[in-house]
Structure 1
């Protein structure tokens, strides 16, 4: 009987007590594991708080080769003043402010450790990014009278749109802009070989008064031929065969020259623009035998993608507000507050 009692006690310990201890132990371990995960999550949240935008941005000064840290809104004021004529309508200036702010934040998010072309800062003060001038530099470039007349207007345009940015599908866009489209903007893929759904060709009809809406560059025939042969020495082009050797291969939807063929060599329109320092790729080449010159007439000024600044001013004069202007030039976007 004693043996039977011992067996029963042993059986009870194995069946009931041991599993209970195991279950308790396993529960304890699982709780510890969950606690550790929670702590790790808290640490991640703390790290995210550390890199959260604090209202300041870093900008590489191309003039002093120094990295500046400044409030975002102060930077935007300097960009608007440098990039758009202060005489423009206030709604156009507001549109520029929102576009410039969006560009700065998108670049900051994309290059937190600095841009490859200027390590240490995601932005620079040159046209490589956005032109920027400090108040002192603006006074030196214009005059104290200019500052008195226009700086308040620029401040109002920026302050009244504070923290406003442009989103597409919940993400900051790359809000490209240019001076004058010449009547129609470009698809991004036709210029930069990258397709963005918000950078599509749209009409830009209100650009009257733009100083570079139309312009003409004149070269002697020899100058023209020399520039071509400097870049394409194999091209057999002369004054006598020029008319038949130069042909347009492809135009973009807006009418700009995408590809040109010279003596069988296919050349990008952007390359011709670069060779002859043209205002845009919307150009027409004319040989004038009487004067022995080649005239290249261009329409528009800039790459033509995104917002036309002169078009924005024209829309503002037509009664459109800055949000309507932005939503016209950047298709399918929303204007919201940056968080």
Structure 2
């Protein structure tokens, strides 16, 4: 879609009727989405290109320090320096961290450590995880609503009803189906009229700019380029783009827009509404892709700046976590420091038992 000046019916706002105001509102909405969607796509593509270079190396550096922490906890456990309550907490932390590092980051060297402290073998645990997640779509960019279940033709126990009630129900259903077909026919007719309105604008441009009968090579090239734009807009059912092309190449003027008939405006507005719906859907898809890449709630992904700021924040947060885990690693190499942490740590969903400090 072209990104030229806003197409509006230009009479004073107080003089516009309801349909003209709606035309302007839809035109403005399309213009906004036309600018926003490429901006969001640029942000998405930039994040995709930066993840392998700016983010993933930091994440793997952080995870490598977690591997060292697991190894430190393993050595401390083997040294048998603590009482049972502390050792229980330590083995739990070893199993939880080792499994995450093996399953999600590929640190297979921790498999023997996991097996040493876990009641189930690592391969069994990985198979169980695979079965739970197999076929499950977790990417918010591609989540799909479940299809509605088909409505049953007859209610439950219908054939147990008295004959006259069955007959009355069937007659009501027949009447409903007739009304449904009438409504569907009306909707199809309206759709045909709406499509015709787009085709009418398209054919006007085709007649004016089709290059086949042009003898002058320079003019033929110009018309070929124009027709490429016209065809692209038509294939996208882009009425606003076609109207802009008509104005750009003097096929219509501003007075033409202001003097559109009631029926023309109705049809134009229906097409523009459809364009808005399609663009809103496209925007939402890109927003959800951004959300999947940087964790920003997709409803908040409304600008390039917002998305990239969130991504940069993620990068800086991982850098900060690396600094912190280096400090933790240095401290936990001292058994007494690790014990201080274990004293306050609680295994989730487990009753805390009092035990002596020693």
TM (norm. structure 1) is 0.23
Q: Which has the higher contact order (CA 8 A, sep 6+)?
A: 2
Give 1 or 2: higher helix fraction: 2
